[in-house]
Amino acid sequence: MGSVGSDKQITGWAARDSSGILSPYKYSLRTTGAEDVVMKVLYCGICHTDIHQTKNHLGMSNYPMVPGHEVVGEVIEVGSDVTKFKVGDVVGSGVIVGCCRSCGPCKSDIEQYCNKRVWSYNDVYTDGKPTQGGFASAMVVDQKFVVKIPEKLAPEQAAPLLCAGLTVYSPLKHLGLMESGLKAGILGLGGVGHMGVKIAKAMGHHVTVISSSDKKRGEAMDDLGADAYLVSSDTEGMAATVDSLDYIIDTIPVFHPLEPYLSLLKVGGKHVIMGVINEPLKFLTPVIMLGRKSITGSFIGSMTEMPEMLEFCAEKGLTSTIEMVKMDYVNKAFERLERNDVRYRFVVDVAGSNLEQ
Ligand SMILES: NC(=O)C1=CN([C@@H]2O[C@H](COP(=O)(O)OP(=O)(O)OC[C@H]3O[C@@H](n4cnc5c(N)ncnc54)[C@H](OP(=O)(O)O)[C@@H]3O)[C@@H](O)[C@H]2O)C=CC1
Ligand SMILES: O=C/C=C/c1ccc(O)c(O)c1
Ligand SMILES: [Zn+2]
Ligand SMILES: [Zn+2]
């Protein structure tokens, strides 16, 4: 297996243009560097960001693009200076695979905010080659950006934690929102949102799901354990919830008005924006001033928080709720995710899809 990381040709599934349609694509892995971990990809979750990127919603996409940043794999080779991992370990990697290591954010262990961050795909690595993601038979990742998957977690269910789980855990920790008894709003019950419900419940919060439809009510309450379910177009329900929430995790991936949701926050409440939205959001200033409310954003989490979040999930018995598919279903899965037809994360069984055949 030692040759896999030595400019070996592998197969991934790549988008070639903004249609976003993925098809098999052969490319070479970089030669294994001293700090590199080579993993055979086992599973990779499909995040809504993969749609934004493959369909060029942000106008910055380069093709061919192999997406996928919720990657769980088995270590098949390690570089000479790798100390944290050995062959056979089950490991994960996420959205970021590189940073400068010398700026303020890097020195403060919040390297996700490094302006020289290297994205796991649709970016250029330090060797000048394009980065490619987890919908591929293998990946090479610097050990700093690799995490061990706790044995208590099933690898396929751990995959969505590497982006969706971390994206919720990090702002709750950073904003001091981990104490029990808080009142949470989870806006948009998709991949990130469903982990929001599970993580907030595990922290002892009272969780209200705020959804665009009534379709997920039963599952949200019965399966995910939400305490309340509010449809955003239900004016009476929204009015009854005004001034009651400590925070809202906003995962809506498209333009939406903020004022109806900001009014649900208590004095001092926090609206945390997660969605990647390519047009300006607007709101009238009194809605935040007359309540000292904050609107903030948050981007994944750090590599220090990653193992902490996985351990939190393992200890609390939290897993993601997934629909597992093979790679030949990936285009259908993207299409279903885009039309809000998944409960709650697709995970591709990459190793079981025999990409190298
Ligand atoms: N900041 C960060 O670090 C991260 C950002 N993201 C971004 O967060 C967003 C959500 O990602 P993810 O959870 O994977 O996406 P999903 O598609 O899985 O979930 C989004 C949810 O938002 C709601 N929604 C979808 N379309 C609309 C619409 N037109 N109007 C109102 N509500 C809508 C739906 O919930 P319901 O049916 O309940 O209304 C849907 O399930 C994306 O923009 C993604 O790029 C993702 C990960 C990390
Ligand atoms: O899924 C994780 C990535 C989120 C993300 C946040 C901000 C941004 O500009 C992106 O391109 C992606
Ligand atoms: Zn993601
Ligand atoms: Zn940096």
Q: What is the pLDDT of residues 40-53, one digit of tens each?
A: 999 999 999 999 99
Mean pLDDT of 275-299: 96
Comparing C-alpha atoms, which of 335, 334, 35, 320 is closest to residue 154?
A: 320
pLDDT at 357: 81
Mutate-to-test residue for ligand 1 from 52, 248, 274, 346, highest number of ligand atoms within 8 A of CB: 274
* pLDDT, the chain, mean: 97
CB-based contact 262:287 (threshold 8 Å): yes
> What amino acid is encoded at 7 in this protein?
D
Mutate-to-test residue for ligand 1 from 44, 46, 48, 343, highest number of ligand atoms within 8 A of CB: 48
What DSSP string describes 178-192? -STT-EEEEES-SHH
Ligand 2 site, residue 27, Cβ cutoff 6 A: no
Sorting pLDDT into bands at 50, 70 and 90, what band is 206?
Answer: very high
* Whether the predicted model's global pTM rises above the 0.90 cut: yes
Mean pLDDT of 174-200: 98
Ligand 2 site, residue 96, Cβ cutoff 6 A: no
Ligand 1 site, residue 271, Cβ cutoff 6 A: no
Q: What is the pLDDT of residues 5-19, one digit of tens each?
A: 457 899 999 999 999
User: How many Cα atoms are found within 13 Å in the side-chain-facing hemisphere of 83?
Assistant: 1
Q: How far is the CA of 226 from the centre of ligand 3 (A)?
A: 23
Q: Across-strand partners of 210? A: 187, 230
Q: How far is the CA of 116 from the centre of ligand 4 (A)?
A: 6
CB-based contact 44:347 (threshold 8 Å): yes
pLDDT at 182: 98
Torsion angle defined by CA atoms of residues 38, 46, 162 and 175, in that order, rounded to the nearest 10 degrees: 150
pLDDT at 212: 98
Return the ∠ at Cα 148 (arms to 349 and 138), rounded to 5°: 40
Mean pLDDT of 123-138: 97
- Give the whole-angstrom CA distance, residue 276 versus residue 135: 21
Question: How many Cβ atoms from other residues are within 10 Å of residue 32's Cβ?
Answer: 23
pLDDT at 8: 87
Q: At what angle do helices 191-202 and 305-316 cross, to 10 degrees?
A: 70
Q: How far is the CA of 108 from the centre of ligand 2 (A)?
A: 21
Nearest CA owner, ligand 2 atom 3: 49
The ipTM assigned to this model is 0.99
- Give the whole-angstrom CA distance, residue 104 versus residue 35: 22
- Give the whole-angstrom CA distance, residue 209 versus residue 220: 7
